[in-house]
Amino acid sequence: MKILIVILLAFVPFFSFTQTELPDTCFTEEEVYAISQTLDSLWLADSLNNAIISKQYDLIKRYESIIQLDSLQLTYQKQQVELLQKNINLYVEREKRIQPKWYDNKAIWFGTGIVSTILTAKLIVDVVK
């Protein structure tokens, strides 16, 4: 076991000290200018997108308030329909109560008046005889 550890420790310096060539990180002036222009255009696009997002957020808020107003209007219209239906039912009930009954007919009263007058006249004629 000790031998294995010694062998591994012996090869560690060879693996850790290997030189790899680092890439060149220097940029030319044109590349820096192009990167700067790209960043500026991205900042502008980001600010425009943020403005569009805020406008859309305002529109969403307005539409939500319109939806709430519409739901209130629908609720009030339903109540109005219910009240009008109750009013119609009350009118129908009133008409049922107001309609004259069969015995309130003028022709019947007129006919009974004539019949009673004739019978009274006949009774008087019979009594006088």
pLDDT in tens, 58-75: 999 999 999 999 999 999
Residue ranges of domains in the chain? 51-99
Of 28 and 62, the one with more pLDDT: 62
What's residue 33's pLDDT?
A: 93
What's residue 53's pLDDT?
A: 97
pLDDT in tens, 75-111: 999 999 999 999 999 999 999 888 877 777 888 889 9
| HSE, side-chain direction, 13 A CA sphere, residue 87 | 6
Question: 45 falls in which pLDDT band (50, 70, 90)?
Answer: very high
CA 11 – CA 89 distance, rounded (Å): 103
H helix or E strand, kind and range, residue 18: none
What's residue 117's pLDDT?
A: 94
What's residue 24's pLDDT?
A: 63
CA 56 – CA 63 distance, rounded (Å): 10
H helix or E strand, kind and range, residue 70: helix 29-98
| Largest Cα–Cα separation, the chain | 166
Question: 23 falls in which pLDDT band (50, 70, 90)?
Answer: low
Of 8 and 108, the one with more pLDDT: 108
